[in-house]
Amino acid sequence: MKHAFTMVELVFVIVVLGILAAIAIPKFNVTRDDANIVKGKSTVANIQSGLVTHRTKRIMRGEAKYPATLDSAANNTEGEQLFTEVLEYPVRAKHSAGGWKKTSSTKYQFYINNSTTIEFTYDATSGRFECDSSDSNCKRYFLN
């Protein structure tokens, strides 16, 4: 007596796997975006903490200013080290999901995914590094 699967059983298994894949793949994409958002929030928190630490060190030396810039990286250059003035471990510029891009001496973009970016601005006078609160993506992902 031979033991084998019938065609109906094989089709049933394929249908079940197809349904599971249809459910799992969209959830995976959402989970990846959520991970990128958390990564971005963590980097912003580290930059803000680094700015406070940097200013505290300068106050101890008799200077009360925040750093003029966050780094000396070139604009729009992939692979450059960003935030070297305030982070012990700088971030490498990556112009894709979960990465940062320097767009000017005071502006940076964070990529949540390849189609959604949020712009952050550094103000050397106040020491603030934040996104524009009127931007819907800033509100949705970073100010909640």
Q: Is residue 108 part of a domain?
A: yes
**DSSP per residue over 5-18, as a string?**
--HHHHHHHHHHHH
**Which residues, in sequence order, are bridge partners of residue 121?**
107, 130
Burial (Cβ within 10 Å: 0-12, 13-18, ≥19) of residue 73: buried
Q: Is residue 2 part of a domain?
A: no
Residue 43 domain boundaries: 7-141
Which residue in 105, 56, 36 sits closest to 76, CA to CA? 105
CA atoms within 13 A on the CB side of 1: 1
Q: Is residue 96 part of a domain?
A: yes
| Spatial distance between the Cα atoms of 126 and 79, rounded to a whole number of angstroms | 28
Q: Is residue 32 part of a domain?
A: yes
What total of structural domains would you count in the chain?
1
Q: Is residue 1 part of a domain?
A: no
Q: Is residue 89 part of a domain?
A: yes
Q: Is 98 helix (H, G, I), strand (E, B) or coil?
A: coil
pLDDT tens digit at each of 144 positions of the chain: 677 878 888 899 999 998 888 887 777 777 888 899 999 999 999 999 999 999 999 899 998 889 999 999 999 999 999 999 999 999 999 999 999 999 999 999 999 988 899 999 999 999 999 999 999 999 988 886
Q: Is residue 26 part of a domain?
A: yes
Q: Is residue 77 part of a domain?
A: yes
Cβ neighbors of 72 (< 8 A, separation 6 or more) are 84
